[in-house]
């Protein structure tokens, strides 16, 4: 069941979203060669506490950390660890902020130092995929319109769309209905209505779409070892179009 949100509820999520956008801005300076991914976890935790917020991922279905840090061939749910980031890595940091009971979810990809042209292109196209989806998040459109636009853009560029993880409704709970697939057919799927709040978070692989789950039980990786990228925003559907709850202003 899709839980429709009021204007007031959306405003509460926007407050959580502002904190989350600020975290991502700070991470842009923090992430560089030599940093361990566990240090990102601590940095985010400390920052959220300073803002009166908490990291909702910690303990979610047993997830052990405050953030997901997915490097190179890791698709999502990478565990922060003693792994040292090195020049040329690409990294996604995904986290969910809880501020006064309302949630904001956004994952952003980062370049560590100077990265290859191929990596840059993957990041660019993945970001474009997300924004193409966001443009179509309009009252009266269908979720299949979003999925189709994302898939088309990814595949046109020689990439593939991961199927196992999808966008989702969100509010007081991290995962609500509907599921928002990043592939699909135009004119199919649920019709988009005012007051829906959901994420669009395509995971795009440089190679084939197949993934496997690491022995830690969480981390998804590309089967062929190719790079994977992801961008995620959370949106509220209004008469004037989508509000990007986790907007970061200049990126």
Task: Tell me how far, at minimum, the Cβ of 157 lies from ligand MF3, in Å.
Answer: 23
Site for Co ion in 88-127 (CB under 5 A): 105
Note whether 105 and 176 are within 8 A (CB).
no
Residue 142 binding result from Co ion, ligand MF3, none, given CB thresholds of 5 to 8 Å by partner type: none
Tell the residue number behind the tokens 């003693």, with chain if given: 82
Say which DSSP state 61 is in.
G
Site string for Co ion, 194-213 (x = CB under 5 A): -----x--------------
Q: Residue 68 touches which of ligand MF3, Co ion, none (CB < 5 to 8 A by kind)?
A: ligand MF3
**Smallest gap, in angstroms, from Cβ of residue 67 to ligand MF3?**
8
212 binds, among ligand MF3, Co ion, none (CB under 5 to 8 A by kind): none
Q: Closer to ligand MF3 at the Cβ: 187 or 217?
A: 217
Shortest CB 106 distance to ligand MF3, Å: 8
The CA-atom distances, in angstroms, between 109 and each of 50, 58, 141, 236 are 24, 20, 28, 22
Q: Are 38 and 71 in contact (CB under 8 A)?
A: no
Whose Cβ is closer to ligand MF3: residue 115's or residue 232's? 232
Shortest separation between residue 87's beta carbon and ligand MF3, angstroms:
27
35 or 181: CB nearest Co ion: 181
93 or 115, CB closer to ligand MF3? 93
Q: How many helices and strands in the chain, by DSSP H and E? A: 4, 15
Strands 233-238 vs 197-200: parallel, antiparallel or unpaired: antiparallel
Nearest approach in angstroms of CB 32 to Co ion is 26
Interaction site with ligand MF3 (CB under 6 A): 57, 60-61, 63, 68, 77, 94, 96, 105, 168, 199, 201, 232
What are 47's two structure tokens?
A: 């920052």
| Least Cβ distance, residue 120 to ligand MF3 (angstroms) | 24
Measured from the CB atom, the residue of 61 and 82 that comes closer to ligand MF3 is 61
Strand partners, 161: 204
- Which option in ligand MF3, Co ion, none does residue 127 bind, with CB closer than 5 to 8 A by kind? none
Q: How far apart are CA 59 and CA 81, in angstroms?
A: 17
Enclosing H/E stretch for 203 = strand 203-205
DSSP assignment of 146-200 = HHHHHHHHHHHTT-EE-SS--EEE-SSSSSEEEEE-SS--TT-SPBP-TT-EEEE
Residue 56 near Co ion by CB under 5 A? no
**Packing angle, helices 117-135 and 143-156, rounded to 10:** 160
Which residues form the interface with Co ion (CB under 5 A)?
A: 105, 199
């Amino acid at each position: 069941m899709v839980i429709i949100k009021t204007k007031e509820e959306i405003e509460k999520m926007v407050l959580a979203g502002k904190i989350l956008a600020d975290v991502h801005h700070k991470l842009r300076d923090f992430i560089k060669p030599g940093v361990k991914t566990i240090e990102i976890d601590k940095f985010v935790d400390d920052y959220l506490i300073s803002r009166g917020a908490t990291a909702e991922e910690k303990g979610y279905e047993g997830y052990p950390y405050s953030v997901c840090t997915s490097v190179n061939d890791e698709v999502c749910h990478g565990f922060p660890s003693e792994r040292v980031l090195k020049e040329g890595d690409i990294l996604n940091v995904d986290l969910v902020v809880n501020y006064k009971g309302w949630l904001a979810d956004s994952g952003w990809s980062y370049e560590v130092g100077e990265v290859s042209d191929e990596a840059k292109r993957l990041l660019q196209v993945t970001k474009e995929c997300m924004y193409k989806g966001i443009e179509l998040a309009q009252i009266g459109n269908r979720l299949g319109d979003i999925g189709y636009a994302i898939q088309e853009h990814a595949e046109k560029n020689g990439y593939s769309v991961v199927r196992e993880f999808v966008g989702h409704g969100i509010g007081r709970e991290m995962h609500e209905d509907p599921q928002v697939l990043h592939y699909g057919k135009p004119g199919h799927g649920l019709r988009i209505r005012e007051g829906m709040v959901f994420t669009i978070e395509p995971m795009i692989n440089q190679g084939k779409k197949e993934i496997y789950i690491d022995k830690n039980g969480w981390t998804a990786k590309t089967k062929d070892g190719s790079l994977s990228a992801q961008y995620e925003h959370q949106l509220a559907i209004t008469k004037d179009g989508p509000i990007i709850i986790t907007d970061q202003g200049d990126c």
